[in-house]
């Protein structure tokens, strides 16, 4: 099969187009013919070597975390899916590889594709949808009437999280540039802060939840918009010791994580705020819940650009530039 392979870590390095064997299928996996693959900032960060401590992959490696496609083969322990089913997924860590013509996916990580979406639209959903779900539903337990601040509202996670928070009945604030104000308002944002001309710390007060996706200084400022008892959930770090334990990281890695997050945890405690680092996981059951929301019209995909398969490196460069409105997708078939 054709695939795009990472041979060595390096800032903005190119993936190599190659012919490689179709991966062997495990008993609890489904082989999916890839029709479309979502491109995420996580892919470019892995390529650059930024996640070597958390995700110690062995190279060469096929990148790609999001897939939409058709089942072509199932393992002997698979019961829910059969050849011909249209499916989508965020594949598991250490089994990534959707920048290819075929990818094996664990049955428990897979869901049926929303019937009202194209393959390209479906491929844009899993990683950002599950990130928003695990942050707002699982970690924050966001309730009707609460206030949530979702940073970078026009990005991949932001465009999905705004819609999910609105569906849950929360008041939603976000940051974006003035050119994207109409986009985020159309998704359900109640309060829009232009990050180029306004300071969100001055505009927002007494929030219940913040979903942080930005840098360290922004993370610290986010503490000050939360009320006592509020929750700060960060998908951009720093990782904490609880996350290290969750992934069964070696002792020295857990120590590094504890040290990296010590300052923000201390500041959060002093204000009576809970701090959590979230590195989302594949979850087919949650993805099926997301499917129901999409088919019911509560959430729609936001796709900025679709690249042809041969332009996978260009798609990675585009996402790494940080200017995408919503998601970037590769059309494989």
Residue 254 is predicted with a pLDDT of 85
Residue partners of 50: CB distance under 8 A and separation at least 6: none
Beta-ladder partners of 70: 33, 86
> What's the CA gap between 289 and 87, in Å, rounded?
14
Q: Which domains does the chain have, with CATH numbers?
A: 2-125+301-331 (3.90.180.10), 128-277 (3.40.50.720)
Least confident of 54-58, 120-124, 210-214: 54-58
Three-class SS state of 90: strand
Do the Cβ atoms of 45 and 127 come closer than 8 Å?
no
Express as a percent the part of the chain with pLDDT over 70.
Answer: 100
pLDDT score of 142: 98
Q: Please report where in the chains the tokens 């460069």 appear, as a residue.
A: 317
- How far is 83 from 285, CA to CA, in rounded Å? 20
In angstroms, the CA 2 to CA 276 distance is 39
Q: C-alpha angle with apex 33: 44 to 326, nearest 5 degrees?
A: 40
SS3 306: strand
DSSP code, position 114: P
pLDDT over 90 percentage in the chain = 88
pTM over 0.85: yes
CA pair distance 110, 70, nearest whole angstrom: 11
Q: Are strands 303-308 and 327-331 parallel, antiparallel or unpaired?
A: parallel
pLDDT, tens digit, 9 for 90 and up, residues 4-48: 999 999 987 899 999 999 999 999 999 999 999 999 999 999 999
- As a whole number of angstroms, the distance between CA 137 and CA 300 comes to 18
- Calculate mean pLDDT across residues 281-289: 98
């Amino acid at each position: 099969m054709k695939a795009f392979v990472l041979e060595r870590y390096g800032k903005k390095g190119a993936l190599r187009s190659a012919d490689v064997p179709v991966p062997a299928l495990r008993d609890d996996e489904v082989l999916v013919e890839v029709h479309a693959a979502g491109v995420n900032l996580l892919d470019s960060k892995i390529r650059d070597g930024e996640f070597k401590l958390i995700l110690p992959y062995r190279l060469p490696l096929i990148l790609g975390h999001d897939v939409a496609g058709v089942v072509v083969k199932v393992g002997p322990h698979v019961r829910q899916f059969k050849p011909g089913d249209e499916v989508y997924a965020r594949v598991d860590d250490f089994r990534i590889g959707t920048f290819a013509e075929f990818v094996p996916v664990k049955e428990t990580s897979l869901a049926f594709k929303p019937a009202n979406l194209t393959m390209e639209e479906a491929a844009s959903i899993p990683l950002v949808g599950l990130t928003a779900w695990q942050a707002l539903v699982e970690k924050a337990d966001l309730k009707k009437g609460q206030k949530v601040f979702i940073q970078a509202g026009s990005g991949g996670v932001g465009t999905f999280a705004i819609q999910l928070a609105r569906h849950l009945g929360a008041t939603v604030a976000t940051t974006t540039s003035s050119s994207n104000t109409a986009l985020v308002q159309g998704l359900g944002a109640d309060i829009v802060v232009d990050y180029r001309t306004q300071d969100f710390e001055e505009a927002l007060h007494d929030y219940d939840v913040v979903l942080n996706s930005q840098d360290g200084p922004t993370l610290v400022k986010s503490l000050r918009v939360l009320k006592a008892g509020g929750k700060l959930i960060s998908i951009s770090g720093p990782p904490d010791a609880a996350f290290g334990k969750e992934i069964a990281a070696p002792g020295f890695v857990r120590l590094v994580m504890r040290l990296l997050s010590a300052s923000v945890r201390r500041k959060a405690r002093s204000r009576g705020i809970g701090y959590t680092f979230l590195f989302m996981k594949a979850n087919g059951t949650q993805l099926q819940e997301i499917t129901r929301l999409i088919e019911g019209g509560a959430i729609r995909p936001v796709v900025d650009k679709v690249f042809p398969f041969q332009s996978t490196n260009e798609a990675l460069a585009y996402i790494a530039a940080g200017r995408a409105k919503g998601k970037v997708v590769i059309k494989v078939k």
